Structure 1
Amino acid sequence: MAAPSAGAVTSPPLGVYVGPGKTAVVNDFQTWLGRSPVAATDYVDPSENTQWNQYAMTYWGDWKRAEAGRRFVLGLPLLPKGGNFADGLSGRYDRQFQDLADMMIENGLGDSVVRLGYEGNNRIIGPWQGTDDPAAYRAMFRRVVTLMRARAGAAFQFDYNMAVGAAGKVTSFETLYPGDAYVDIVGLNIYDVWWQHPGATPAERWNHTLTTRMGVNDFKAFAAAHDKPVSYPEWGLYRKGDSYAGGGDSPYFIDRMAELVRDARYQAYFNLDWGGGTLDEFPEGKARYKLRFGG
């Protein structure tokens, strides 16, 4: 790998996730980083309380309008909470996706990136995981894209976004792919982990991320075969001490990601503690992140 640069790299549009509707925290992150604009990512469920979805889209719409060049990226489940593919493919949830698309368009978010059915190769991600029924996942993906694109004023970009690693019936990036006509960007989520390998060195963990089935090397080959731009919508350090076997405070991982994302359409650090920690927990990694991505 190339040696770290002495300063910040020229990187693609950079984003961050800091929690639901946390526009002020995104602004604080941007100020700390000394870089503008910083894109925001968030998640909503199509069946969530309608009032909350309205609030969230209003917050993010106001945030986007406040500064030129801002981008919003939405993680959107392929099924609502408690949903199933049979009901989804029968049209039972169509109105929920249409209403959400309309809400986004009304709030100036009609050109957002939508990470539809994110991490479909993750068995525990939610009812939309595709490791048991890839055909249903593909069909539902096509259905939702068609529904959302048909709304007046829609200019959404849809990101086919997987995690690192094969699972169940998902043995390659092709398994869940709905087809080129339904995908604008292909994305990969990466964390500094190697399941149940706590003794791995930073270089060994990174090599695993590159070479494992449905790792970075497979992902880049898949993107090239379909002539699609790439994204890294979630990435981050991960604390040591559990089965994920994270690398903890690892500037090495930050450097490798800084090199990897140079050709991405966008990329976003996941800076909310879902079990792996935030940048504040990793002082060396945080300093390296600012060096590589700051203004």
Structure 2
Amino acid sequence: MAMPSEGAVTPSRLGVYVGPGKTADVNNSQEWLGRSQVDATDYLDPSENTKWNQYATKYWGDWKKSGADRGFVLGLHMLPKGGTFAEGLAGKYDSQFRTLADLMIKDGLGDSVIRIGYEGNNKNIGPWQGTDDPAAYREMFRRIVTLMRERTGESFQFDYNMAVGTSGKVTSFETLYPGDAYVDVVGLNIYDVWWEHPDATPAQRWNHTLTTAMGVNEFKEFAAAHNKPKSYPEWGLYGRGDSYMGGGDSPYFIDRMAELVKDSKYQAYFDHDWGGGTLDDFPNGKAQYRLRFGG
């Protein structure tokens, strides 16, 4: 299980998600790591309370301007709450995407990475999941990119971002891909889980992540075939005890990710509890994360 490089600091552009609008917590993570560079990740629904969108883009824009070498990565809902592809493709939400793009540009976030419809191969992610209607997902992705690229002053980069594993009609990374002209980066979200395999060792769990359909190996081949840089926009440890069968406090997983992300355009640890815990719940993994990614 050991690798010669374990313990070596991993060079990569690093980001973190610590919660909505939590600029101070990002700063705390950066200070704890002792890094000169840490990017921030957050999520927005284009039709959510417009005041919150205004606040959030202002918060992150001010944060970005207040430090050197800071970047912002946005996970953007492809459809608003209760929305449908039919309504989206008919233009019902066009103004919401234009407005959000203009807000980001005004607040200094016009060069952000935008993960449109992230985890479209996850049936439970939201109304934009593409496992039932891949064609509509692809077309909506193209529509949003076109709308946002038309705004004056933008230099957005768009990340086609999937999760590990197939679902429904999504059987490969090609299924939902909108085309090279609409994608700047391809991304893969990875958590230390293996569904309903409670007795898997850390090495077995990682091997599954590599070799499963729409796993790491296929992702690398996909990125190379399209000549796109790779990202790992969400990754993290996951606690034991539910059907996800997370690996718990696993420095081994931290080390494997530290090696994997070396050639990525950017990567971000998801340090917010969506059910599997945060770094504070995994003291050994947290120590190894600081060893591998600290300044």
Pairwise TM-score range, normalised by the shorter structure: over 0.9
Show CA shifts across 1:68-105 (max 9, x none): 21000000011111100000000000000000000000
1:169 aligns with 2:169: yes
Letter in 2 for 1:54: Q
Instruction: Summarize the alignment of residues 14-93 of structure 1 with structure 2, pairs less than 5 Å apart.
Output: 14-93=14-93
Equivalent residue, structure 2, for 1:265: 265
Give the SS at the match of 2:35.
coil
Superposition deviation, residue 197 in structure 1: 0.3
Distance in 2 (alpha carbons) for counterparts of 1:271 and 1:112: 20
Letter in 2 for 1:23: T
Show CA shifts across 1:246-292 (max 9, x none): 00000000000000000000000000000010000000000000000
Show CA shifts across 1:190-225 (max 9, x none): 000000001000000000000000000000000000
Letter in 1 for 2:100: L
Mark the CA change 1:236 to 1:6 in structure 2 (over 3 Å): closer, same or farther: closer
Show CA shifts across 1:170-190 (max 9, x none): 000000000000000000000
Superposition deviation, residue 52 in structure 1: 0.5
- Aligned-residue sequence identity (percent) comes to 78
Superposition deviation, residue 2 in structure 1: 6.5
Distance in 2 (alpha carbons) for counterparts of 1:211 and 1:191: 14
Distance in 2 (alpha carbons) for counterparts of 1:20 and 1:201: 34
Letter in 2 for 1:156: F
Distance in 1 (alpha carbons) for counterparts of 2:6 and 2:92: 55
**Contact in 2 for aligned 1:85/1:140 (Cα 8 Å):** yes
**Contact in 2 for aligned 1:8/1:294 (Cα 8 Å):** no
What RMSD, in angstroms, separates the aligned Cα atoms of the two structures? 0.9
Tell me the TM-score normalised to structure 2 length. Answer: 0.99
**Contact in 1 for aligned 2:8/2:292 (Cα 8 Å):** yes
Mark the CA change 1:178 to 1:6 in structure 2 (over 3 Å): closer, same or farther: closer
Tell me the TM-score normalised to structure 1 length. Answer: 0.99
**Contact in 2 for aligned 1:173/1:219 (Cα 8 Å):** yes
**Contact in 2 for aligned 1:43/1:75 (Cα 8 Å):** yes
Instruction: Summarize the alignment of residues 107-186 of structure 1 with structure 2, pairs less than 5 Å apart.
Output: 107-186=107-186
Letter in 2 for 1:220: K
Mark the CA change 1:250 to 1:89 in structure 2 (over 3 Å): closer, same or farther: same
